[in-house]
Amino acid sequence: MSLTKANVIDYLLQVNSLMAINNHHVVDKNGYKTGQTPLAIQIGQEWIQEILEKDSLSGHKIISKKERNALIALGEAIDRVPTSMSISSLMSIMDLGGIQNNLFESITLYIASITQLNEHLNLLKAVVLVLKIIEYDLSKKEGPITIGYRFFSMVVLTNEQRIINHLKINTILNEILQKFDSCCEQNMNCSTSMDVLMG
């Protein structure tokens, strides 16, 4: 049995803290993580669309224009992220560092735009999971990230870029946890606005 979208969604909906999210726990019944990245990205995209559609269909606006624009930009950035570190996935990538930096910038703008936290709780979980997956990929092996073999290998992320991007991920994760985790611990069912949180 391979990992399914239902497995990932079930994990994200049940975890009661952003800090508790661990990509190593998102596995199938045999303990395998194969397919984790594309599933996390797909779920993130779907939850972005759900928020946007809910806002569009609602009789009143549930998110601000700033939040809407940030969600759209985040969706576009996530869509560019490679779904694995395999050769087939990375072969078409000319600028992995640029793709990751665009994602980090989009996430930073997104979390800064949030005013009604209860509309974003599930998506924040998916964002944290995606960041944890990328963090693991960047930290599991020292040196540049390459594709190919021997004479046919190509660097898609230098060691310096890998280290810098790993630090950026940790900074973003810490910001997300500091801003939102205390509320999310309340059974992920908090409707408090950021005005109250920051007050």
Helix pair angle (65-79, 36-57), 10° resolution: 150
Q: Given this model, what pLDDT does residue 94 score?
A: 63
Q: Given this model, what pLDDT does residue 6 score?
A: 93
How does pLDDT run across 15-34, given as a tens digit for each residue?
989 999 999 999 988 888 88
How does pLDDT run across 55-87, given as a tens digit for each residue?
998 877 889 999 999 999 999 999 888 876 555
Residues of the chain with pLDDT under 50: 187, 190-199
CA–CA distance, 172 with 156 (Å, rounded to integer): 22
pTM of the model: 0.86
Which tokens go with 81? 């992220």
